[in-house]
Amino acid sequence: MFTIDQIKEAHSKVKSGADFPKYVQDLIKLGVIHYNTYVRDGHTVYWGSDNFRVQSPPNYPTKEIADKSDKNQFIHKLNAHQAGETDFATFCTHCAENGVEKWVVDMVEMTCTYYDKTEHNLLEEEIPVP
């Protein structure tokens, strides 16, 4: 199975949201089936086959997640990130400011879904294959 060190190595190649599709492919090669990233502190839980699971430590100091989500503003910030205009830390700050509590990446369905504090699906995107 995969390790957090292997995932960190794959993530080290990501400079912006433009690199995300390749990152997903690297995780698939490691055996990751899906993962959840929590905006509050940046920790991620990764799942593989047979309920194998590893969790990363927090990536940054705790962020306050806005109680009210702003889907339109979030989409604007997400588009900028996907175009390579922001780094991961900035993207996480934008998520928190716009009420995104977590995102879930499903490697089987090839989707990335963003949720607010009430578990409301704010946006689901298909992950392009590079």
Residue 25: left if φ>0, alpha if ψ -120 to 50, beta else—which one? alpha
Phi/psi of residue 35, each to 5°?
Answer: -150, 155
CA distance 92 to 60: 10
* Element at 127 (helix H, strand E): none
Which pLDDT score is estimated for 59?
92
> Mean pLDDT in the chain?
94
| pLDDT band at residue 23 using 50, 70 and 90 as cut-offs | very high
Report yes or no: 14 and 20 within 8 Å, Cβ to Cβ.
yes
| pLDDT band at residue 14 using 50, 70 and 90 as cut-offs | confident
The CATH homologous superfamily to which domain 4-126 belongs is: YdfO-like (3.30.1810.10)
Tens of pLDDT, residues 59-110: 999 999 999 999 999 999 999 988 888 888 899 999 999 999 999 999 999 9
Burial of 12 (0-12, 13-18, 19+ CB in 10 A): exposed
Which pLDDT score is estimated for 70?
95
